[in-house]
Structure 1
């Protein structure tokens, strides 16, 4: 069954099939079934049309799928713009909720910051930039004058003279 842009499996129980929708977990799926008085063992293919229309009306009133994703993305970008701790952790692709980073940080590095990464630049443009020949102009800061440092051997010779 295709409901609100999501293909729901017909052979599954209704509460479990609803978990395919982003923003609906098992507890929310069961509470939706309780609210619509759908039996917990009822499969999606056995649902009458009247219950399907009630279900779609109820889901339309909830914040799910694209609207929820957009809201989450806006919250994360807001955190990064105000430069709070959680926003900086998202920017750096590090764990946000105080988890350790010495050994377990791979999942956070994969997930956090994916809303913030600029995808406008690809690897091909980075290669093109590295192929640009360097300019002939070079600038270096003048080195400050250093006091003469005696070598280790001159220090040893002085020490031996005093013995």
Structure 2
């Protein structure tokens, strides 16, 4: 539904990884590790059947992904192979370090660099990830009629939830 097909993405990704180097703390350059995660994938799911509402959700989701990840977002594909339609978004970070795309990890690293305690680092991690999820809900979930937090989280009975 967005970007290039998976074969083209795979070729582009392999080319980027083949020539990539990582600068070590001592200033030396070396080829990136073969175990380094160099791509991120986000799965977004629609809780119903493929209809006009789902297509609007899909368009909002792609827009949110583009706004959030910019040119790093390479491909978004839709699968209808399970009970609910879902999107797979593939993101290749400029530095080929997939962890840099994780909002919680970035916040935790910043908190650590600022000299905060481990407890404060974990709070920064959790809050940043909540903010990322809230951003998705605000731009996509809410206009699509989806809830941010389900009934189990707030300990509601089914009747109360309905």
If the TM-score is normalised by the length of the shorter chain, which range does it land in?
Answer: under 0.3
Q: More relative contact order in 1 or in 2 (CA 8 Å, sep 6+)?
A: 2
Larger of the two Rg values belongs to structure: 1
> TM-score if structure 1 supplies the norm length?
0.24
> TM-score if structure 2 supplies the norm length?
0.24
